[in-house]
Each structure stands twice: as C-alpha cells, then as structure tokens.
Structure 1
C-alpha cells in the first residue's frame, strides 16, 4: 500500500508542475487549444489528490461498520476522476464554441508547442509507468490515473499536430476546431471511467475475474466436486469476495466437507493475484447428479456416469445444479 501512495504522490507532484507549464504556454500564446490542455491538467491534479486519499482509506483495516473493508473507495475515486474529466470536456466544448464567435489573437506558437511537447512526453511516460504498476499491484486507482495520463498525452499529440498545422497555414479556425475535437475525446474517456466506477459500486460482476476462477477450478477439479454453481464475485479495492455452492457426495461427514471446502479456498487464493475471501456453501448430491458424477466406487450411485461436463463461466454462475442443464444419454 505504501508503494501505491508513493506512486500517486509522484503523479500528484508531476501533475502540478505540468499544469503550471501548460498555463504558462497558454499565457504566452493565447491559444484556446492550449487552454484546453491546461484545463484538463487541473483535473489531473484534483483526481490525483483524491486518489492519494482513497489509497490511504482503502488500506484501513476492516472495522465493525465496514465488515468488508474500505476498498470500495477506489471505485468512488475512479468515479470522481471520470466525473471531473467529463465536466472538463464539457467546459472545453463550451469555450470552443464561444471562440467561434469571439476569436482571440495568437502569439508565440512555436514556444507554446515546445512547452506542450515536453508535458506530453512526461505524461505518457508517467502514465505507462503507473499502468504497469497497477497490474502488478492490482490497483484500480493507479489504473485510472495511468489511463488518464496516457489519454492526456494522446490528446496533447493531437494538439501539437494541429498547432503545427496552424503555424504553417495561418488558419486560426484550426485552434477552435482542435478544442472541439479534444473536448469530445475527453468527454468520451470520462464516460468510460464513470461506467467502470458505477459498475464496481453496483457490484457488477467482473467477467475476467470470474473466467480466471472458473479456469482454475476446471484445471484442478476433483472427482468429489460434483458441480459448482451460483458463483459470484465482488471486488473491494485490492481484495475479492467470492461465494459459490459446491455439490459434494451426500455421505461425506462434516470433516470431509470441511476438507474439500478448504481445498477449494486454498486453490483459489494460491492462483489469483488478489487476496480472496471465499465463502462456500456445500450442497449434498442427488440421484439426478449421477450421470455426470466422477466419484469412483460410489456406494449410492443410482446410474452410471454417461457425460462429461466442462465447467464454463456461463454454467457456474447459474444458481442451479448442473443436472438441470444436462440430460443423460
């Protein structure tokens, strides 16, 4: 967690320096397009400030009022960042439309291009670094901040190309057109972050995590695990909460059931990158399960096994035993 805080602090300090540089470029050029880039930098600083706090809060241990921990704050952090980006893009479009009717004189374009080019390079390098670290640390906050910085770098590249075209052609409307295009691009990226955060806050299932868990279970399944169903995943920051039902032979005693449940818990925690809390409900098998059950020398088998079932995400997330979707040959 200290690593995450240090990385966000680095992003925050860098964002402040780059914001000042972009506003300097705006003041010496009076370019509406450069002002657009500078305005987005304010969002970078505000988002990094909140991200710094969210990483601190997500590391606070569970308490009586927050039995699942404080990890959800990371989704709220992404929501704030996406909302700020969306608002910035909207303001940029409004100002660009204003400049269509009230254009401003441009000066010192080459000097402004030089300053903006440096900020774009720094933003891209820092964003790529944060994305790499976010995968290693499984941090949504670092991921959102890294994607935002890389998006900012791409928009800066488009801005630079447009400013160069403006410099060589002298067509001033290019400056306003750039602001409009960048504003729409920024709003779209803000929407994507908002969509991701709302999905997390609403406990939308993470398809990739579910697929990873199903693959682990499929590759390591034991004969006694007759089927797995009602598999659900919730994410709380850097922790996962999973629950499912596992069908076991109905003649297993409590010690055997506990052993199988513990084995599944251990298997998942050893093979996923996030700390995982696994709640498993054990179901007894029924005669209808026999046609896909692989238990050898079963003392209560009512019919031979006639079918093999490959576990898939679509099958395991359903809240029914597998005999309701398969029929014996």
Structure 2
C-alpha cells in the first residue's frame, strides 16, 4: 500500500468513527450546533471514500485512452468534496432556521461539549498532517481532504463557544445563530475548493509552479539556450507535465541538440517530486536571434548583441521567438 493510500485510509477510518460519535452526541443533546458538526462528518466520510478511489485511479498507468494518465480524477475528487461542503452548509442553514420557529429542548450539553472538543483535536492534527503530505506528494485530493478536516476543526471551535454560551446563559437561540454563521463560512470554503478544482480541470496556469520553473531556468541558464518560449505547465493530479520550445544554434548537429535537450530535462526534473513529464521542442536559431544571442565566437553571427531578453513568466510563456520587434 502506497503512502497516499495509507493516509487517505486513515482519514476514512477516523472520519467514520467521529461521525458515529457526533451523531450519538446530537441525539443526546438535540443541539443544532452539534448537528452541524455531525453533518460535516458525513461529508468527511463520503469525501474520504471517494478520495481513496480517486487516488487508486490516479495511480493507474497511462493507456491508449488516457495518454497523459488518470491524474485529473484528483481534481474531480476535490471538486466533489467542495460541492458536498456547499450542500451541507445549505442544509445546516435550513435546519437552523427551522429550529428558530420550532425550538427543541436541549439536554446533556456538557457531554456534547466534551465530544466536540475531542473531535476538534483529532480533526485538526489529522487535517494538518494530510494537507502537509498532500503538498509533499502534489496531490489535490489529499490537500482538499486535509483542508476539509481542518475546516471541520475550525467549525468545532466555533461550536464549542456556542455550546458553552448556551450552557452558561441558558439562551438556546445562540445555538442556531452559531450554526448559521459557520454554515456560511463553510459554504464559502467549499466554493473556494470547487474553484481551485475547476481551474485544475481546465488547465488553468499554476502561477506558483510557473514561477518556480522560470526561476530554475534562470538559475541554470546556458549561453547556447538562445531563447525559450511557449512554456506550458499542466497538472494531472500529482503528475506534472511541462513543455516548451528551446532555440539552439542552427549549426548544432542532432547529437548536440539531443544532449542539450536532455540536460534541460534533467535540470527541471531534479527540482520536482513525483512524476514529471517534460516535452522539449528544439528550434533552430534565425538571423534575428543574433540581437540577443549570447553564444561566444558564433561562426554564423550576422548582427551584434544589442538586446537582453528577460526570462520571466510572461516572456517564456509567449508562443513566439523573441525577435527584436517583439521587445
């Protein structure tokens, strides 16, 4: 069993146990705040179950139908988790409003309070660990699940305060207000998770990864790498795909071109964990490239160097060689 399997399995087991305990606490207290926490736990269980399947599917090798692998299922899994969070927040608000008009007597609140505190501690540490491992393995599924568990822990803090106020003030309406406030916060968090998932499915530019790639290239720049353009980065779950065009001196033979491309790939691949797939298209230089070419003693130079092309996120992403007119 891979580390990601073990992590998500632990999340599923712990979430299932906490869900059962929280529903027992609700039926003992009839607290809307505790019900909010219990409903959130249902989402944790469902999301962890689907996340386990998503991680399994994402680990399958490439095939003819999926030449880039199955990693994008992780974005779908994270998006589903966001949808479930939003749906739960809507139900919680509906239930809390109902309780305003048909209040239920509360009982055994100190016991419920103790259960929520225990759940907060477990969820926070588990969520922190899963999110950290998700970042380590570049797994959108683990990151979303970790954020969700931490969100559950944050809800617990709010609910602890609400239940404590009910215990000391005997004001039952505080219970419903706390549920509505957190449901709104929970819904907004779910929308943000959905937004990030949709961005991944649509190959939205990952600015952080793009900046890292550009910085790596700047730090390892070779004079024979005359120009880099059409740099594109795509995430397939935990897998990273990078492709770009590199301009090399046109008098290089195929063996030298291959050596430069291979070095380019090794430099980028060494800086990322997980599976990194790099496709490099080699272009021959043109006369206009002389204006910014730094190759010393070039036997075919037509013009002196007069410009410097800054390697940044914009310039390297453009789908064109950086001719003098484009500067």
User: CA shift at 1:307, angstroms?
Assistant: 3.0
3-state DSSP of counterpart to 2:323: helix
Question: Residues 58 and 74 of structure 2 are in contact (CA less than 8 Å); yes or no, is this contact kept in structure 1?
Answer: yes
Matched pairs, number: 327
Q: 1: distance between equivalents of 2:110 and 2:275?
A: 51
| 1:145-193 per-position Cα deviation (integer Å, ceiling 9, x unaligned) | 1110001000100110111112111111101101101110111111111
**Residues 118 and 216 of structure 1: CA distance in aligned 2, closer, same or farther (over 3 Å):** same
Partner of 1:3: 3
Q: 2: distance between equivalents of 1:324 and 1:56?
A: 50
Q: 2: distance between equivalents of 1:326 and 1:299?
A: 25
Q: 2: distance between equivalents of 1:30 and 1:61?
A: 49
Partner of 1:104: 104
Q: 2: distance between equivalents of 1:6 and 1:272?
A: 22
RMSD: 1.3
Partner of 1:199: 199
User: CA shift at 1:310, angstroms?
Assistant: 2.7
How high is the TM-score relative to the length of structure 2? 0.97
3-state DSSP of counterpart to 2:12: helix
Partner of 1:222: 222
Partner of 1:150: 150
Question: Residues 18 and 41 of structure 1 are in contact (CA less than 8 Å); yes or no, is this contact kept in structure 2?
Answer: yes
User: CA shift at 1:325, angstroms?
Assistant: 6.3
Question: Residues 37 and 156 of structure 2 are in contact (CA less than 8 Å); yes or no, is this contact kept in structure 1?
Answer: yes
Question: Residues 21 and 119 of structure 1 are in contact (CA less than 8 Å); yes or no, is this contact kept in structure 2?
Answer: no
3-state DSSP of counterpart to 2:126: helix
Partner of 1:33: 33
Partner of 2:268: 268
3-state DSSP of counterpart to 1:271: coil
Partner of 1:52: 52
Question: Residues 43 and 84 of structure 2 are in contact (CA less than 8 Å); yes or no, is this contact kept in structure 1?
Answer: yes
Q: 1: distance between equivalents of 2:28 and 2:316?
A: 61
User: CA shift at 1:85, angstroms?
Assistant: 0.7
Partner of 2:17: 17
Q: 1: distance between equivalents of 2:97 and 2:137?
A: 42
Identify unmatched segments of 5+ residues in structure 1: none
Q: 2: distance between equivalents of 1:66 and 1:307?
A: 43
Partner of 2:237: 237
Partner of 1:123: 123
User: CA shift at 1:105, angstroms?
Assistant: 1.0
Q: Which runs of 4+ in 1 moved over 4 A?
A: 324-327
Question: Residues 54 and 74 of structure 2 are in contact (CA less than 8 Å); yes or no, is this contact kept in structure 1?
Answer: yes
Question: Residues 22 and 37 of structure 1 are in contact (CA less than 8 Å); yes or no, is this contact kept in structure 2?
Answer: yes
Q: 2: distance between equivalents of 1:141 and 1:190?
A: 14
Partner of 1:162: 162
Q: Is 1:310 equivalent to 2:310 in the alignment?
A: yes
Partner of 1:278: 278
User: CA shift at 1:138, angstroms?
Assistant: 2.0
How high is the TM-score relative to the length of structure 1? 0.96
3-state DSSP of counterpart to 1:251: coil
